[in-house]
Structures are given as C-alpha cells and as structure tokens.
Structure 1
Amino acid sequence: MQTTEHQSFGKPTEVREFPHGRAEILSVGDSDIGRLILQPGWRWSVDIKPFAGTDSCLAPHFQYHVSGLLHIRMDDGTEFDAGPGDVTSLPQGHDAWVVGDEPVVVVDWYGATDYAREPEVEHMGTA
C-alpha cells in the first residue's frame, strides 16, 4: 500500500560525488529519484565511465532538465541538446556532456538507483 511521504533534495538520502558533479538521491516509496548536478567540463565517457566499466551509459533515464545545456549522443548516432524545460527519455547506450559554462541540473525519475555508484568490491576470504 502506498503511503504519504515528503522528501527534499535539501536533505537527500544519499549523495554520490564524482569528477565534475554529484548525484543527490532521494528514496521515496519504492523509487529512487536523482538530482544530477553536472559542472562545466563534465562528460559521461570521462567522468562516469570508470565507475560503470562500459563503453557507453547503459542506464536508461527519464529526466526533466532544470538548467544548463546537455548534449546527448546515442550509440545509434542520434544527437541532440537538452535544456531547461525539456524532458528526455533515453534508452541505454549513450554519452552526454555539459555544453557551455553553466552547470546542468536534471531530475532523473528513472535510472538513478545505481548511477555513479562505486562498484562493490568482492572480499576474498583467507585460508
């Protein structure tokens, strides 16, 4: 059963720092919602790829663009810019980067659960 909840990005459940940005995660009900704050110079293939370990972003996203300009390049060659007021639905397989000198802020309704999460390290037992 769904319950009433009130959360704020002023007090996120979790903050994940990465080069040129951070992801603020809110856990609401059964969902994680992310506010991504990406600074000028941020690019997925440079700043997040080391966490992901994949050639392109495999997390699908459903995002509302609050501020700044984000250039998105899909693996199929499709490219476009997304800016304030835009909503993007991105399947897996893309790169993206900040265009210009203004930080990009997006609210990601789908895809934030594992975004920029450090990979879990397996600990080997000792004999």
Structure 2
Amino acid sequence: MTSATQSMDSPHETRPFRAHGHMDVVTLGDFTLGRGVFEPGWRWSEDVKPIAGTDSCQVRHTGFCVSGQMTIRFDDGEEVTVGPGDVMVAEPGHDAWVVGDEPCVLLDTGVAAYAKPA
C-alpha cells in the first residue's frame, strides 16, 4: 500500500474567486480535497458564475463546515444554511452565499472541477 500526504497550507493549486475568497486544492491520486475560504460578501452567482459559465452551480459538493455560515439555495427554491460542525451534501443546481461578517471555511471533496474556467 502506498500513502501520500500534502499539507493544505501548501496546496497543489489555489483557485481565486472573482472576489471574496479562494479555494485551496490538494489532489492525491484520485482524491481531491478543497478548502474554500469564502469571505463576507461572497456569492456563487457573483464570484464563481463568471468562471463556471453556468446559470447555477453544477458541482456536487460533499463536505464539512469548519467556521462561518453559508446559505445554499437550490434551483427548486429549497434553502439550507450550514454552519460550524455541519457535514453537508449539495447536489448540482444551486446558488450560495456567505451569511454574516465572518468568513465561511468549508472542506469539500467535490471540487475537482470547481471554480475552473469552463
């Protein structure tokens, strides 16, 4: 068995959002983990939509909220807010935004193609 490690403090890649934050990405073999730092004022439809080129986020996110809060609104109108300690799954077809004045930090396994130019 082969093992590999990489510190999130030295990510393989950092993907800046249009404004209000970035996604640090580490890929080990076929496993990709992102640490998203979503600053106050961040909103997918303003900060990532121009990068993704889709009407709503079409990535399936699976992750854990480390700090801050984020509301996710799905294309069908359902909304959920995640906060510290929450494990979440967000299926494709959503917008999202930071709630409050604290950055939202999420660890996310669904970021292999997230915030990469289309």
Matched residue type, 1:40: P
Contact 1:14–1:26 (CA under 8 A) maintained in structure 2: yes
Residue 79 of structure 1 is matched in structure 2 by: 79
Q: What is the CA–CA distance in structure 1 between the aligned matches of 2:87 and 2:81, rounded to whole Å? A: 11
Q: Structure 1, residues 72-119: CA drift from partner, whole Å, max 9, x if none?
A: 10111110110000011111000000010000000001x211111123
Residue 88 of structure 1 is matched in structure 2 by: 88
Residue 100 of structure 2 is matched in structure 1 by: 100
Residue 38 of structure 2 is matched in structure 1 by: 38
Q: TM-score if structure 1 supplies the norm length?
A: 0.88
Contact 1:3–1:29 (CA under 8 A) maintained in structure 2: no
Contact 1:37–1:103 (CA under 8 A) maintained in structure 2: yes
Matched residue type, 1:23: M
Q: TM-score if structure 2 supplies the norm length?
A: 0.95
Residue 10 of structure 1 is matched in structure 2 by: 9
Which of these two proteins has the greater Rg computed from alpha carbons? Answer: 1
Offset, 1:5: 1.0
Runs of 4 or more off by more than 3 Å in structure 1? none
Q: What is the CA–CA distance in structure 1 between the aligned matches of 2:103 and 2:25, rounded to whole Å? A: 18
- Which structure 1 segments of 5+ residues have no match? 120-127
Q: Which secondary structure does the structure 1 equivalent of 2:51 belong to?
A: helix
- Which structure 2 segments of 5+ residues have no match? none
How many residue pairs get aligned? The number is 117
Identity of aligned pairs, percent? 50
